[in-house]
Amino acid sequence: MENVKGIITLSVSYAAGVAVAALAAEPFAGALACSAAVALLLAACARSKGTCGPALHLTFFFLGAMRWCSAALLPPDPAPAFAAPLADGLANLLDRIPFAGANSGGIIKALLTGRRSGVPQDTIRAFRASGASHILALSGLHLGVIYTIIRRMLSPIGNSPAARLARSVSTVGICGLYALATGASASITRAFLYICINEAGRAMSGRAHSPLGTFCIALTIQLTLAPGVIATPGFQLSYLAMLGITILYPRLESWYPGSRRFDPIRIIWKSAALSISCQAFTAPAAWFHFRTFPIYFLITNLIALPLSEFIIISAVAAAALEAICGCPPLLARACGESVQLLEFCLQAIASLPQPW
């Protein structure tokens, strides 16, 4: 417990150093991150007490600041040469599948590859107005669904130490290729780091790390690899959403105790608690960057999240079958009609009256 507490507080100090350095160079972009980070640095020093002294916190603070400064002087790393062909191959594979609906193919391609050129502007506006733009843009949600698919596909290999290691290596490798092929955005990178940390914990000890420990380790690694992302909206929203899930969601979920019986009300409450937890933590940053707040976010997420998960799962299955032996028409139709249903629901929510 003491080790986890030390990791958490030192991670906050490191992030605060990166944020302060970003503020010095880009005051408008880094203002939100900096003010939050300084407050968290003071809180970390106060909470650490015997675990880590102030000198160690200051050391990590200055290490973070120096890492940002050193990265600012270097050109960005180029994308791997194989990333673009992988993304092109997946996009071409999806183009071959006759999904039902005029816009379904473009939306599915956006969900799996991040390429939104085939999505009409009115559809993009509907996603944005209804509070579902995070679904259309590649994020941790998409990689999380793909990660779950891979884990379940590899579950038959067993649970011996060798099987766990093979499953972890295969899962991390496939998810890493997908992250690189789709551009390795800040939120996708965060999700991939979560996968790596959790798989390392499972392979070595048979269990995952603590949620807050995983959050802080991923934050420190990502800021070390690319400190400049701290000023980007995608990075801030992704980590704030995960912070809400880590801190607030377990408390909200416990308000409706579970039981062994199938309880649809509890399933709805868990989905609502997840949406509220994310929105409560991301709303200030979203307003700071975009001056928007989706007042119907709860309705949107209760409808869009399950539909999106089904669409991603069925689209991955359709692409895999198309590559092997051809996608069954029934699967292509079910996937396309699910996209049409999602589009219809979001258009309806976007048309509701807005107070501002």
Query: Taking the C-alpha atoms of 161, 163, 168 and 173 in order, what is their torsion angle to the nearest 10 degrees?
Result: 140
Q: Pick 187 or 158 by higher pLDDT.
A: 187
Give CA separation, 76 vs 70, 79, 151, in Å: 12, 9, 33
Whether residue 14 contacts residue 64, with contact meaning beta carbons closer than 8 Å, is answered with yes
- pLDDT tier for residue 18 given thresholds of 50, 70 and 90: confident
DSSP string, 105-142: HHHHHHHHH---TTS-HHHHHHHHHHT-HHHHS--HHH
Q: When comparing pLDDT for 270 and 64, which is higher? A: 270
What is the model's pLDDT at position 113? Answer: 86
For position 313, what pLDDT does the model report?
92
Domain positions in the chain = 2-72
Q: What percent of the chain has pLDDT over 70?
A: 83
Percent with pLDDT over 90 in the chain:
25
Reported pTM: 0.85
Output 247 or 61, whichever has higher pLDDT. Answer: 247
In order, the DSSP letters of 155-187 are GGG-SSHHHHHHHHHHHHHHHHHHHHHTT--HH
In whole angstroms, give the CA distance from residue 154 to residue 31: 44
Residues 215-232 have pLDDT tens digits of 989 999 999 998 888 888
Question: Lowest-confidence range among 64-73, 240-249, 299-308?
Answer: 64-73
Average pLDDT (141-163) is 86
Task: Name the band, by pLDDT with cuts 50, 70 and 90, for residue 43.
Answer: low
Higher per-residue pLDDT: 260 or 12: 12
Cα–Cα dist 16/31, whole Å: 12
Q: Which of 326, 276, 25, 270 is closest to 131 using CA atoms?
A: 276
Q: So what's the pLDDT on residue 50?
A: 54
pLDDT exceeds 70 at position 26? no
Comparing 1-5, 130-134, 249-253, 351-355, the range with the smallest average pLDDT is 1-5
For 325-350, the pLDDT digits (tens) are: 888 999 999 999 999 999 999 999 98
Q: Is the pLDDT of residue 1 over 50?
A: no
What are 80-117's pLDDT values in tens digits?
A: 666 667 778 888 888 888 888 788 889 999 888 888 88
108 within 8 A of 199, measured Cβ to Cβ: no
Answer whether residue 207 shows pLDDT above 50: yes
**Euclidean distance between CA atoms 189 and 113, whole angstroms:** 14
Looking at every residue in the chain, the average pLDDT score rounds to 82
pLDDT band at residue 46 under the 50/70/90 scheme: low
Tell me the Cα Rg of the chain: 21
